[in-house]
Amino acid sequence: MKITHQKLREIQAPIVSSLINGFAGEVGYEKTMKIAGKVISEDAIASGKKMAQELEGNTLTELSEIVKKVWANDGAIEIKMIKETDSELFFDVTYCEYAQMYEKMGIKDMGPTLSCIRDFSFLKGFNPQIELKRTQTIMEGAKYCDFRFEKTR
């Protein structure tokens, strides 16, 4: 049985948030979140490398496949596609189950660190020649997340 991307985050969240809260009590919340962000980013880089190997490619075509088949699996996110070419993949996330899930767990403040920062780090492992520009997220209170992936070279 294969676990969806969203279900994996749901399984991880209680354990990770408990660890974060425990460490925050000892060394402070800011320092703990900085360390957690670094560790989560390193994991996302490794995940990007693994996905590129599994898909035997790391272009925007494969990235689009990941967005549609992994990140949005089972309605975890709803996307409005804006542009999809060989050099650009632009879309808005209009619904985010990840944000809803973290809010239900009472850890929405950790959501950007647990999930959103992964997107930038994932690209470092997947293809460092693809750049993500994003100015807002649902997790941080916006109506939508604006994902703008561009091939830089």
The model's pLDDT over 65-100, given as tens digits with 9 standing for 90+, comes to 999 999 998 889 999 999 999 999 999 999 999 999
Rounded Cα–Cα distance for residues 74 and 97 (Å) = 10
- Is 1's pLDDT higher than 70? no
Computed over every residue of the chain, the mean pLDDT equals 95
- For residue 58, the number of C-alpha atoms closer than 13 Å in the C-beta half-sphere is 18
Q: Find the range with the poorest average confidence among 4-18, 40-54, 91-105.
A: 4-18
Range 10-24 average pLDDT: 94
Contacts of 73 (CB under 8 A, 6+ apart): 4, 5, 6
Q: Give residues with Cβ within 8 angstroms of 55, minimum separation 6.
A: 62, 65, 66
The CA distance from 79 to 45, in Å, is: 23
- Please state the pTM of the whole predicted model: 0.90
Residue 107: pLDDT band (50, 70, 90) is very high
Note the pLDDT of residue 97.
94
**144 torsion bin: left (phi>0), alpha (psi -120 to 50), beta (else):** beta
Say what the pLDDT of residue 102 is. 96
Domains of the chain: 5-151 (3.30.1380)
